[in-house]
Amino acid sequence: MPITSQERDFADKLLRDSLAGLRAAVETLEPEGWQSRRGGWSVLQVVEHCYVVEVGIIRKIPTMPPPSGMRADRDEKIVGWIRDRSTKVEAPPGVVPEGRTADPSELLTKLGRLREKTLAWLHDPAAEHRAHAMEHPFLKLLDGYQWLLMIGAHMERHTAQIREILDAPEAG
């Protein structure tokens, strides 16, 4: 089942706005600011995590099998669940930042190019976004469109985390 133009517009806005928000949160950081942390990952590690998650999803989801019994009525709930930082979750081992990129500028460039690929898949008229499904570690089975929503909401969640790190009195 193809997604509607309203669904496409919603996902497009979410994906574009989430990347713009992340960039705005880090645009004035000095090199030491990228190493700021508040008990957990540094700002650089948070951005790396967002990149690694999106790479994994975009590589896998277009080739995943069709779902059985998917529910499109979960779309907006998924965005809300991911954005909600009141529940802390541990990242699965494959997406924990490992210092793959030490240069923040290079990482942001790679993230921008990746987001263009993500948007290209969203806007591909031949893509059947709901015809692919993959398990999420916490949200269970998501179709391809829901994974796109997850990518945007996930970046918003971690942009909020970055702002918390940078707003902490000990950050710097």
pLDDT at 13: 98
pLDDT at 69: 67
Residues 6+ apart with CB under 8 A from 59: none
- Domain span at residue 120 reads 5-167
Question: Which range among 84-93, 110-119, 144-153 shows the weakest confidence by mean pLDDT?
Answer: 84-93
Helix, strand, or coil (residue 37): strand
Residue 171 has pLDDT above 60, yes or no: no
Q: What is the pLDDT of residues 12-30, one digit of tens each?
A: 999 999 999 999 999 999 9
> Within a domain: residue 27?
yes
> Within a domain: residue 172?
no
Number of domains the chain contains: 1
Cα–Cα distance, 146 to 132 (Å, whole number): 10
CB 97 within 8 A of CB 46: yes
> Within a domain: residue 50?
yes
Helices 43-60 and 104-123 cross at an angle (nearest 10°) of 30
If one compares 97 and 50, the residue with the highest pLDDT of the two is 50
Helix, strand, or coil (residue 42): strand
> Within a domain: residue 71?
yes
> Within a domain: residue 156?
yes
> Within a domain: residue 124?
yes
pTM: 0.90
Enumerate the β-bridge partners of residue 42.
Answer: 37
Q: Buried (b) or exposed (e) across 73-86, using 16+ Cβ within 10 A? A: ebbeebbeebeeee
SS3 content of the chain, % helix, strand, coil (to 5): 65, 5, 30
Q: How large is the average pLDDT for residues 41-45?
A: 95
pLDDT at 72: 66
pLDDT at 70: 62
pLDDT at 169: 72
If one compares 117 and 171, the residue with the highest pLDDT of the two is 117
Q: How large is the average pLDDT for residues 3-16?
A: 96
> Within a domain: residue 104?
yes
The CATH number for 109's domain is 1.20.120.450
